[in-house]
């Protein structure tokens, strides 16, 4: 039986590059679902890929919409009895045209609550040996928070819901103007990525307890990529990768065979584990 893969936010940027890379790494029995908010954009993305060895299919998924996620999970269960490869990549952008306080709720709703919603729906469908990447960033290390806020993301002690609660506390602090005084970093992307990495760490622990065997769940930093999402935030993009270049190391993880002591519940970048709290 072929492998079943899913990429969210698959119509542009890193997501489209992940589909392109997976489509050549996988074979004709394998199916890649491009999860997109807008089917017309998804269709254009598929056409831009030309012919591929793996089969490509479109699925409308907005990670802020519970119904689209449960429809996706039902379809994967009914048609394929599960899933083997997940790239949880969908992400809202932040613009410099509005204050961060005005954007934080929507950003966290997509990047944190959205990736958690997807995880909840797909964890029960993961097949033995499945690979699950939450696309995060090296900003998502606990050491990027002051020590008095770190207990909010204590992944040894907390449950998945607690991380959502911590993110909501951060949103409230941003919206009522107390975030800086409370010690939160001044760029939304940092607490948000810390929340995503914490979620991956806890999910990895849970899947070890419940099975199936040999599943690996990691947060993955793709490094700096030249996309419309990142361009406004970095003065010097001369070292930025193309989306195809950045996709390579992510795909290495998504296609990785069973190996002893493989990273699980970690933040990885270019195949190396980044320390959570150093």
Ligand X SMILES: NC(=O)c1ccc[n+]([C@@H]2O[C@H](COP(=O)([O-])OP(=O)(O)OC[C@H]3O[C@@H](n4cnc5c(N)ncnc54)[C@H](OP(=O)(O)O)[C@@H]3O)[C@@H](O)[C@H]2O)c1
Binding stretches for ligand X (CB under 6 A)? 8-9, 11-15, 37-38, 41, 61-64, 89-93, 110, 114, 135, 137, 222, 224-225, 227-230
What end-to-end distance do the CA atoms of the chain give, in Å? 43
> Strand 272-274 vs strand 267-269: parallel, antiparallel, or unpaired?
antiparallel
Q: Cβ of residue 105: shortest distance to ligand X, in angstroms?
A: 13
Query: Which of 151/234 has CB closer to ligand X?
Result: 234
> Strand 83-88 vs strand 55-60: parallel, antiparallel, or unpaired?
unpaired
Q: Cβ of residue 49: shortest distance to ligand X, in angstroms?
A: 14
Query: Which of 214/237 has CB closer to ligand X?
Result: 237
Smallest CA-to-CA distance from 262 within 216, 222, 201, 221 is with 216
Q: Cβ of residue 90: shortest distance to ligand X, in angstroms?
A: 3
Q: Cβ of residue 208: shortest distance to ligand X, in angstroms?
A: 25
Q: Which residues contact 189 (CB under 8 A, 6 or more apart)?
A: 94, 137, 139, 233
How many helices, marked H, and strands, marked E, lie in the chain?
A: 9, 8
Query: Which of 63/126 has CB closer to ligand X?
Result: 63
Query: Which of 178/233 has CB closer to ligand X?
Result: 233
Q: At 131, is the secondary structure helix, strand, or coil?
A: strand
Q: Cβ of residue 70: shortest distance to ligand X, in angstroms?
A: 14
Asked if 271 contacts 216 with a C-beta cutoff of 8 angstroms, the reply is no
Query: Which of 55/245 has CB closer to ligand X?
Result: 245
Q: At 1, is the secondary structure helix, strand, or coil?
A: coil
Q: Which two tokens stand for residue 170?
A: 């951060």
Q: Cβ of residue 94: shortest distance to ligand X, in angstroms?
A: 10
Query: Which of 156/186 has CB closer to ligand X?
Result: 186
Question: Which residue has the closest beta carbon to ligand X?
Answer: 13
Q: Cβ of residue 246: shortest distance to ligand X, in angstroms?
A: 7
Query: Which of 176/272 has CB closer to ligand X?
Result: 272
Asked if 207 contacts 128 with a C-beta cutoff of 8 angstroms, the reply is no
Q: Cβ of residue 112: shortest distance to ligand X, in angstroms?
A: 11
Query: Which of 228/259 has CB closer to ligand X?
Result: 228
Q: At 269, is the secondary structure helix, strand, or coil?
A: strand
- Residue 66: HSE in the Cβ half-sphere, 13 Å Cα cutoff: 2
Question: How far, in Å, CA of 153 to CA of 130, rounded?
Answer: 26
Asked if 8 contacts 87 with a C-beta cutoff of 8 angstroms, the reply is yes
């Amino acid at each position: 039986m072929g492998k079943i893969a899913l990429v969210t936010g698959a119509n542009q940027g890193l997501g489209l590059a992940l589909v392109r890379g997976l489509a050549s790494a996988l074979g004709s029995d394998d199916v890649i679902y491009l999860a997109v908010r807008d089917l017309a954009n998804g269709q254009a993305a598929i056409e831009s890929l030309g012919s591929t060895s793996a089969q490509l299919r479109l699925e409308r998924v907005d990670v802020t919409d519970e119904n689209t996620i449960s429809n996706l999970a039902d379809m994967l269960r009914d048609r394929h009895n599960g899933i083997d490869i997940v790239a949880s990549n969908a992400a809202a952008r932040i613009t410099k045209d509005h204050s961060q306080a005005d954007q934080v709720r929507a950003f966290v709703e997509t990047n944190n609550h959205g990736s958690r919603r997807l995880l909840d729906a797909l964890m029960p469908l993961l097949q033995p040996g499945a690979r699950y990447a939450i696309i995060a960033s090296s900003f998502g290390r606990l050491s990027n928070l002051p020590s008095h806020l770190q207990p909010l993301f204590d992944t040894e002690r907390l449950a998945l819901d607690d991380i959502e609660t911590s993110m909501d506390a951060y949103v409230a602090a941003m919206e009522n103007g107390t975030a800086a005084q409370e010690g939160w970093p001044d760029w939304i992307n940092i607490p948000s990525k810390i929340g995503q990495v914490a979620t991956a760490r806890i999910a990895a622990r849970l899947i070890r307890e419940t099975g199936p065997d040999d599943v690996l769940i990691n947060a993955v930093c793709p490094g700096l990529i030249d996309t419309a999402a990142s361009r406004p935030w970095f003065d010097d993009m001369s070292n930025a990768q193309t989306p195809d270049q950045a996709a390579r190391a992510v795909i290495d993880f998504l296609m990785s065979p069973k190996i002893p002591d493989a990273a699980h519940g970690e933040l990885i970048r270019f195949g190396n584990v980044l320390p959570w709290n150093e």
